[in-house]
Amino acid sequence: MHPTARKFADRVRDSHGFEVTIEEFPEGTKTADDAAAAVGCDVGQIVKSIVMRVGDETVVVLTSGANRVDEGSLGSEFGVEQGAVRSANPSEVKDATGWSIGGVPPTCHATDCPVLADPTFESFDRIWAAAGTPEAVFRLTPDDLRTLSEPRFVDVFE
């Protein structure tokens, strides 16, 4: 197992008492389509951890692989204009979450940044999320996501 994926598995176990089974795919799971093909699920079951800057705040937006973040709705959720919403750059992602783009898990972030989640996940029995690297994923349920990430389920997606 990649050392970063092992670090995630250890951290989620130590922080939440949650044992993950990490699956690694050398061909990568960088996109939602890649991840869905690798694990054999619907693209909607993939949890994309999109890190955004909303005004002066960094926010992790857990988006179904079938959806995109609606920046206008996200800005409205935080009371800022759409022009004040953008994707976080690689260093902002790493600083806020402790993970690199493509491998950001939905939990165990370096800071207490707000986490929002796509209500679409509620329609699935299982979902899949990044486990610290672009090649590593783990399976969880929407209830697990709720417990591990403590997100606000809001509709800021298109």
Closest by alpha carbon to 124, among 108, 105, 104, 144? 144
- Supply the pLDDT for residue 105: 98
CB atoms within 10 A of CB 110: 11
Give dist(CA 74, CA 18) in Å, integer.
Answer: 30
The domain spans of the chain are 3-153
* 100-92-90 Cα angle (round to 5): 45
Give the HSE-up count for residue 110: Cα atoms under 13 Å, Cβ half-sphere: 15
Which amino acid, residue 108?
Answer: C
By percentage, how much of the chain surpasses pLDDT 70?
100
48: helix, coil or strand? strand
CATH code reported for the domain at 3-153: 3.90.960.10
Whole-number Å distance between alpha carbons of 129 and 94? 17
pLDDT grade, residue 64 (50/70/90)? very high
pLDDT at 120: 95
How would you classify residue 15: left for phi > 0, otherwise alpha for psi between -120 and 50, otherwise beta? Answer: alpha
Residue 123 per-residue DSSP state: G
Over residues 92-109, the pLDDT tens digits come to: 999 999 999 999 999 999
Q: What is the pLDDT of residues 14-38, one digit of tens each?
A: 999 999 999 999 887 778 998 899 8
Residues 65-92 have pLDDT tens digits of 999 999 999 999 999 987 899 999 999 9
Report field, pTM of the whole predicted structure over 0.85: yes
Instruction: Return mean pLDDT, the chain.
Output: 95
